[in-house]
Amino acid sequence: MSGHKLLFSGLKLWTSGTSRWISGLHDGVNKSGKACFSSCSPKVCIVGSGPAGFYTAQHLIKARQDVEVDIYERLPVPFGLVRFGVAPDHPEVKNVINTFTQTAKHSRCSFYGNVNVGKDVSIEELRQAYHAVVLSYGAEGNRSMGVPGEDLAGVYSAKDFVGWYNGLPSCGELSPDLSCETAVILGQGNVALDVARILLCPIDILEKTDITQPALDALAESQVRRVLIVGRRGPIQVACTIKELREMVNLPDTRPEMAAADFEGVTEALKDLPRPRKRLTELMVKTALEIPGEKEQERRNKASRTWGLKFFRSPVEILSDPDRKRTAGIRLAVNRLEGSGDSSRAVLTGEVEDVTCGLVISSIGYKSLPIDPSVPFDSHKAIVPNNMGRVQQAAGLYCSGWLKTGPTGVIATTMNNSFDTARSLLEDMDSGTLDVSPAKPGSQSISALLDKRGVKPVVFSDWEKIDSVEMSRGKAIGKPREKLLTVEGMLQEAQK
Ligand code: FAD
Ligand code: NAP
């Protein structure tokens, strides 16, 4: 739609080119303290305030001068995995929060935290109140290994372990037992490497990050000295990226532990690999096979901890101690590869190998979950079935982020797929496929519903109070932030 258009709706007059009310005609203020715009503005609501939610909102607001966007978030705090996933020792990644904050503070965007969509308000109610609803609620479940013993004490999903060290309220009680010497991580993606690095990272590095204090205390007492990162396929198929592998290679006080036999034929295959994969594999080969220089050898000799990538192994069973109470090891099937490159498959050889360990962390991927029975959900792929972000057979319903694509991709990938969804939505508005002519109440009616149900949304300025408390708590102990760990604690600060 072109800018500088005058929109009339009853007594209200809004000029979309200048993004402001013509003075005297409007004095409405919504629950987030923002000026209310025309009741005939297209109203879009977004479910989830992670990168997908914020990037979708950003694109919509920028592309059309009349769209109003409300973001509903289950937790009282925004930013999804940027807050609760990204490793505490990667603060630079969290700079995207500055862009998200600009979007949240835009006059046509409002944030409503502490609203659990699917429970506090249904998707159908949102669809009644808005012209379009974008589902961007991420992937909050995890793939399970499906092997016996998975429920033993000492076995955790990476999702919970990451949530624990990053202060996700639902993981506050995890208290992982770190009294063993060896930890096994299943999966060789970047999450697995994040977890391995946090388990082995010297405390004097971690204590300068925003890792939670209970996690820092537990890691300071940790007896874990050896971390094996186990993949079902070979070195050429690892899912991690070079930056994260290099961080492992250079992690102070650690040395690598790899089996030369796992690298058979890999050096020969290097020349045919695409460049990023080639550089990643070269680093692995160098780390595993080359005799290090004197200085590096000395560093390795002095190291008190080891880490290793272990290949061609799939979990078969988590072994328990004699009391059948906690994990004492893991049985791994030995695989061989069928095919080559990315598409090769792990095939069982029939051989098994037992590894003694007291901690098993399964890092084989996250998984989206359905939140409302009225929304189509492909339980096989664990995504909302969609065509370029348009939810199939549900006009006015869209999806973006990990819920749309499945749980892979860095923030930049999520940004692109969210912009694509916003483009689909805008196209539908422009073409008339999405009818934005009937006036919709937007947050007004949803706020009334939430009020009736006793739900108190946390608006962005409330989050800023939480933010400021967390930063002062951090400052007092030399950390960038000390997160509040419970929803109650967050709400208390928000409501002050
Ligand atoms: P999310 O970030 O998960 O956001 C979903 C949001 O929806 C959450 O805020 C959630 O609370 C909310 N929500 C869920 N259910 C509801 C509901 N019922 N009602 C309302 N709201 C709801 N990428 C990088 O580029 N660099 C990194 O260093 C990096 N580290 C990562 C570390 C980990 C452990 C993980 C798992 C991923 C990491 N990524 C990283 C990838 C990046 O986090 C994702 O690409 C991105 O967060 C996906 O965005 P999303 O918005 O789809 O999901
Ligand atoms: P991922 O990259 O998809 O890796 C999953 C790993 O689990 C792969 O090694 C996979 O092996 C393995 N796996 C899957 N199913 C398995 C099974 N049934 N049995 C054994 N192994 C299995 O997922 P992720 O590590 O959760 O990361 C998710 C996304 O977030 C990725 O895109 C990642 O790059 C991103 N991320 C980025 C950063 C960063 O930039 N620093 C940090 C964390 C996460 P196969 O290849 O054989 O399937």
Domain boundaries, the chain: 24-140+368-494, 143-365
Ligand 2 geometric centre to CA of 407 (Å): 9
Phi then psi for 307, rounded to 5 degrees?
-140, 150
Regarding the beta carbon of 214 and ligand 2, being less than 6 Å apart is answered: no
For ligand 2, atom 36: residue with the closest CA: 190
Residues 6+ apart with CB under 8 A from 313: 230, 231, 232, 332, 333, 334, 335, 353
Whether 1 has a pLDDT exceeding 70, the answer reads: no
Of 3.30.750.24, 3.30.428.10, 2.170.270.10, 3.50.50.60, which CATH number belongs to 143-365? 3.50.50.60
Looking at all shown ligands, the one closest to residue 88's CA atom is 1
Confidence of residue 40 (pLDDT cuts 50, 70, 90): confident
pLDDT one-digit tens code per residue, 320-363: 999 888 999 999 999 999 998 889 999 999 999 999 999 999 99
Regarding the beta carbon of 332 and ligand 2, being less than 6 Å apart is answered: no
Ligand 2 geometric centre to CA of 468 (Å): 34
Q: What is the pLDDT of residue 2?
A: 34
Outline where 77-173 has alpha helix (H): 81-84, 96-104, 123-129, 158-166
Confidence of residue 490 (pLDDT cuts 50, 70, 90): very high
Q: What is the pLDDT of residue 492?
A: 98
Among 86, 197, 361, 399, the mutation site with the greatest number of ligand 1 atoms within 8 A of its Cβ is 86
Regarding the beta carbon of 188 and ligand 2, being less than 6 Å apart is answered: yes
pLDDT one-digit tens code per residue, 237-280: 999 999 999 999 999 999 999 999 999 999 999 999 999 999 99
Strand ranges (E), 98-181:
109-112, 132-135, 141-142, 155-157
Confidence of residue 432 (pLDDT cuts 50, 70, 90): very high
Q: Who wins on pLDDT, 204 or 323?
A: 204
Confidence of residue 8 (pLDDT cuts 50, 70, 90): very low
pLDDT one-digit tens code per residue, 44-65: 999 999 999 999 999 999 999 9
CATH H-level superfamily of 24-140+368-494: NAD(P)-binding Rossmann-like Domain (3.40.50.720)
Q: What is the pLDDT of residue 32?
A: 58
Q: What is the pLDDT of residue 233?
A: 98
Q: What is the pLDDT of residue 324?
A: 82
Q: What is the pLDDT of residue 7?
A: 32
Q: What is the mean pLDDT of residues 176-184?
A: 97
| Ligand 1 atom nearest to 404, measured from its CA | 52
Regarding the beta carbon of 171 and ligand 1, being less than 6 Å apart is answered: no
pTM: predicted TM-score of the whole model, two decimal places: 0.94
Q: What is the DSSP code (8-state) at residue 63?
A: H
Tell me which residue of 325, 306, 319 sits closest to 224, measured CA to CA: 306
Q: Average pLDDT, whole number, for the chain?
A: 92
Ligand 2 geometric centre to CA of 188 (Å): 6
Q: What is the mean pLDDT of residues 135-159?
A: 96
